[in-house]
Amino acid sequence: MSQDELTGLTVAQLARRIRGKDVSPVEVADAFLRRIEAVDPKLNAFITRLDDHARRAAAAAEAEIMAGEYRGPFHGIPVGLKDLFWTKGVRTTSGSLLDADFVPTADSAVAERLQAAGAYCIGKLHMTEFAFDGTSRNHHYGPARNPWDTSRMAGGSSSGSGVAVASGEAPIAIGTDTGGSVRVPAALCGVTGLKPTYGLISRYGVTPLSWSMDHVGPLARTAEDAALALNALAGRDPRDRASVESPTQDYTQNLDRGVKGLRIGVPREYVWDMVEPEVRGAFDEAVAVLESLGAEVVEVSIPGLELINPAGSVVQTSEAATIHRSRLLAYGDRYDPVIRRRFESGLFIPAEAYLTAQRVRAGCRRSILDALERVDLLATPTTSIAAPLIEQERVVVNGQDVSTREAVLRITRIFSAAGLPAVSAPCGFTAERLPIGLQLVGKPLADALVLQAAHAYQTVTAWHTARPGL
Amino acid sequence: MADESRLTYEKFLVLAQLLGLAMDESRLQDLYAEVEPMYQRIDLLRSVDSTPDAPLEAPEAVSEG
């Protein structure tokens, strides 16, 4: 099997070949490392490459498998980690200059669980500084570039995660999502991204941005691979105070159940105030596909939905400023000036305003949950626009002039603030051949159902199989 | 009430000093441009009845960033 073929496979496909001994973990590692060598100078998906570590880990996995000690679908699989997951003995920059030389003495829970599953880290991936931006700009490490058009943003903050999976530099990556930072790069880069239910995956050993909104989630080629990642990563961890108790389950078990009989709600309010026509067109076609598979699609009203983003913004910015206060005061000039201002603005938020925002946020969440009593899932576009130019600060959508950051985050942030499981799956391209994402959202802990619907969509569409020409 | 709660540049400078931020004039002007819209969002949220059982209604159009 050629290098191009290997790096185009999903985790599930690679796992079948590794288990069947049709391909060895060492061959897999070599193929992805050669791919990184060939394309990453154009894309900048990696902050730290771990070539030697990857070769050693792949050789160890191969020895185990040959000795009959196969651990499961992640055994011998390379995984990219956003550079805010602590990795023992490997620097973890969080996309910043301040942590440029930070070498953790312990692994994050995600790194631990991946290792236990037999996977290894192939490199630490690009991100925006301290995950506080939805673009893929980084003042210190340069921008991550969209593989579909390298003059375009990859989305953020898990920028390198979206780029690496889309470009075949890694079969899967793990990112974090506070306002959309898994789903936005997934949508803009044309891959599948899951933000699970709040607390489903442990954040132990993750550089925090906002404790009440940070989530960990996979970026993958398919919903099936995202389900495999949940199998490896989900589970209670007392080291993360937000970690939830969830029934042990196989997230791949019901993937083939389809969407027949499911009610899918399309929000009437807010979302459509600002969506590019090409994005709307792709979304409408995606919803028609789900209908053709037997889902019932209905409009739903979610009163007050427009309030959740101002509330989420105040909460996130206040928590971020609280986390960074001492560093802002002592080393403010080491931050990107734009990111520094964003953090510092949170210092001006009074306690009463933070608490008011939390109350409004809770009310909005109740309103969304009320809607989810009437339907099984909600569907929206993932982003209002396709990938803008890297340097683009503003964009006009439906006649409204807004920041690109707002345009890419305004829909995803709703469901980050609500803590609900949400997946982004590729659902089309613009005329300029830029990917568009479909977002499906479920009730708390309905992560399996969200993935089931995305998988049903991917069994009859081919958007997720498209590859950028690099 | 809206005028009283509005964060003028003068009030902002006082707060910035209390917070211990470096008082570089051009940087503070840029920071004010970030903080002022945040205060508009806060004013909007304050105007909502957010008591736990109240139906949520936005009192006016929400400005985007």
Over residues A281-299, the pLDDT tens digits come to 999 999 999 999 999 999 9
- Which of A345, A393, A398, A408 has the most B C-beta neighbours within 10 Å, making it the best mutation to test the interface with B? A345
pTM to 2 decimal places: 0.96
Residue where the block lists tokens 């499911």: A262
CA distance B6 to chain A (A): 13
Interface predicted TM-score (ipTM) of this complex, two decimals: 0.90
Report the pLDDT value the prediction gives residue A370, as an integer from 0 to 100.
97
- A321/A264 Cα distance (integer angstroms): 38
CA–centroid distance for A339 within its chain: 20
Residues of A in contact with B41 (CB under 8 A): 310, 313-314
Pairwise CA distance, residues A136 & A389, whole Å: 10
How confident is the model over A258-271, as a mean pLDDT?
A: 96
- pLDDT (tens digit per residue) in A129-139: 999 999 999 99
| B62: DSSP letter | P
Per-residue confidence band for B50, with pLDDT thresholds at 50, 70 and 90: confident
pLDDT at B63: 44
Alpha helices in A379-418 (DSSP H): 404-409, 412-418
Chain B from 6 to 45: CB within 8 A of any A CB? 7, 12, 15, 19-22, 27, 30-31, 34-35, 38-39, 41-42, 44-45
In 3D, which of A80, A78, A76, A85 has the Cα closest to residue A106? A85
Q: Which two tokens stand for residue A450?
A: 């969200």
Name the pLDDT band for B65 (thresholds 50, 70, 90).
very low
Task: State the pLDDT at residue B61.
Answer: 45
pLDDT at B58: 61
Return d(Cα A296, Cα A300) in angstroms, integer: 12
pLDDT at A365 over 80: yes
Residue B16 to chain A, least CA–CA distance (Å):
8
Label residue A318 by pLDDT band (50, 70, 90). Answer: very high
pLDDT at B57: 65
- Angle made by CA atoms A136, A128, A104, in degrees to the nearest 5: 145
CB B50 within 8 A of CB A365: no
Q: Are B34 and A345 in contact (CB < 8 Å)?
A: yes
pLDDT computed for residue B1 by the predictor: 45
What is the distance between the alpha carbons of residues A226 and A465, in angstroms, rounded to a whole number? 15
